[in-house]
Amino acid sequence: MAKHRNKRIPKLRFTTLRDIGWHVSYRDERTGLPTRHRFNITEKEREPEARILYHGWVLEHLGGNVDATHPTQAKRAPRVKLPPQVLSGSLLEVASGFIEAERGRSREGDEPRRRGSIAAPVFRDRKKAIRDFLEFMNELHGVGAVGRMRLADLTMEDIEAFNRSIVKRGFSASQVAKRLQLVKSIIDRAGRPEHGGQFLAWNWDSRDVLHGTPPAERILPTRKQLVRMLREADLRGRTMIWLGIGCGFGARDLAAIRVGQITKDAYDLRRSKTGVERFGETPPRVWRFVHMYQERENRPKGQLLLVTRNGSPLVHSKSNAVTQWWDKLRKRVGESKGTLPGFYTLRHLGATEFGSRPGTSIGDVKRWLGHSAGSDMADVYMRPVRPEIREIVDWVRVRLES
């Protein structure tokens, strides 16, 4: 007897990431790839309007709405044409030159890390932050203002107003500092000869500085939660869980592991985010699951160790299979985001256990984390274990060495 499978209806979701706003994420039936449909609504308070468009999209997704009677996207506001002339040495010209300079030092894919280079995702974030600053200045002084304003027109009140606006948006202290550093980089670049050797008429350090929200305390899973997750997971899932705890691997790290990089005695690989050498001893339990998984899959040496069901990498530009798997597993054991954080919490748990071992040095912790030499994360983990998390840390330590 043939089995009939009900078609899953994607849920309406909202995110502030990259101005996506209200959207649905689903898998394209023709290509089999994850994709996203945007409703062109980036304001959270416009949920009723987004929900109406969502129902029209669901009708189309199920095969109805053939005549496109029900719209599935909001009409975008017409773009206001900027003045055709951009003054030489204007904020817009200086910022554009800075973006191009940042693009020139960004690296793609598996390109080796050069000194002074930045990863492609970092470049995209910086480009977005600079555009946010330019848009803020246009809102403050009128359409096309950044094409007319030179550095002498930039006041301390402008910077302080921008500082207040990003703090009000709820950014963390580190994100606020990064955005203001980019503004300062634009100011410094205006001093180049091609921009007229401009300089500020006021002291940058004399401004009133507002900091963002402090970092939230990291929530670690309890022993009961972790045991339930391990029991519910399959072999691949348990392998990823123990790699996250025992080696501190995040989703992108798991997606980059190749057969042969982890042996019974040691592992040696490079973390893609920072390019810092990453090696150490393989915990016995981690090797046990990696070995069982390699024996079952029987992939040739050099191929990716962990892939999706259709053989694609776990993480790519449009999808993160580790996050999707973790969310489904978390729901199956009756947990939610509020009670159990994302997969990255396993890395925090493993770092807490590793950093609290007797005789562990700062260099050991930084190498285990895959952080650069200037990282201060070692100070976060190299401290006595708090009483409320001692049970899960001791349990993990015993299991890793068993």
Angle, alpha carbons 367-373-376 (nearest 5°):
90
Domain assignment present for residue 179? The answer is yes
Are 57 and 107 part of one and the same domain?
no
* 153 and 277 together in one domain: no
Of 144, 177, 206, the residue at which a domain comes to its end is 206
Q: Are residues 229 and 378 in the same domain?
A: yes
Q: Give the angle 53-55-61 at the CA atoms, nearest 5°.
A: 105
Residues with Cβ within 8 Å of residue 44, at least 6 apart in sequence: 14, 21
Region of residue 47 (left: phi > 0; alpha: psi -120 to 50; beta: else): alpha
Q: How far apart are CA 376 and CA 379, in angstroms?
A: 6
Whether residue 2 lies inside any domain: the answer is: no
Contact predicate 220/392, CB 8 Å: yes
Query: Does any domain span residue 184?
Result: yes
Residues 229 and 349 in one domain: yes
Do 202 and 227 lie in one domain? The reply is no
**Contact 47/14 with Cβ under 8 angstroms?**
yes
Same domain for 263 and 351?
yes
Residue 211, domain member (yes or no): no
Q: Rounded to the nearest 5 degrees, what angle is found at the Cα of 161, between the Cα atoms of 157 and 162?
A: 120
**How much is the pTM?**
0.65
CA end-to-end span of the chain = 47
User: What's 214's DSSP letter?
Assistant: P
- One domain for residues 236 and 377: yes
Number of domains making up the chain: 3
- 141 within a domain of the structure (yes/no): yes
Q: What is the CATH number of the domain that holds 338?
A: 1.10.443.10
pLDDT in tens, 213-241: 887 777 889 999 999 999 999 999 999 99
Q: Do 230 and 366 belong to one domain?
A: yes
Q: How far apart are CA 396 and CA 221, in angstroms?
A: 11
| Nearest in space to 206 (alpha carbons), one of 264, 160, 139 | 160
In which domain, by residue range, is 38 found?
Answer: 13-61
- Domain co-membership, 104 together with 42: no
Task: Kindly give the confidence (pLDDT) of every residue in the chain, 402 residues in length, as a single tens digit, with 9 standing for 90 and above.
Answer: 444 456 678 889 898 877 788 999 888 777 777 888 888 888 888 888 889 889 888 888 777 766 667 788 887 766 555 455 788 899 999 999 999 999 999 887 666 667 888 888 889 999 999 999 999 999 999 988 999 999 999 999 999 999 999 999 989 998 999 999 999 999 999 999 999 999 999 999 999 999 988 877 778 899 999 999 999 999 999 999 999 999 999 888 898 899 999 999 888 876 555 555 677 889 999 999 999 999 999 999 889 999 888 888 888 766 889 999 999 999 999 999 889 999 999 999 998 998 888 888 888 888 888 776 555 666 677 777 788 888 999 999 999 988
Q: What is the rounded radius of gyration, in angstroms, for the C-alpha atoms of the chain?
A: 25
- Pair (251, 374) in one structural domain: yes
Is 212 a member of any domain? Answer: no
Domain assignment present for residue 86? The answer is no
> At a CB cut-off of 8 Å and minimum separation 6, what does 72 contact?
37, 39, 53, 56, 57, 60, 65
pLDDT digits 0-9 by tens, 193-220: 999 999 999 999 999 999 988 877 778 8
Q: Are residues 164 and 258 in the same domain?
A: no
Write down which residue in 153, 181, 206 finishes a domain. Answer: 206
Closest CA to 322 of 225, 255, 396, 402: 255
User: Facing residues of 304 across strands?
Assistant: 258
258 within a domain of the structure (yes/no): yes
Same domain, 234 and 189: no
> Residue 18 — left, alpha, or beta (φ > 0 → left; ψ -120 to 50 → alpha)?
left
- A 10 A CB-CB count for 388 gives 9
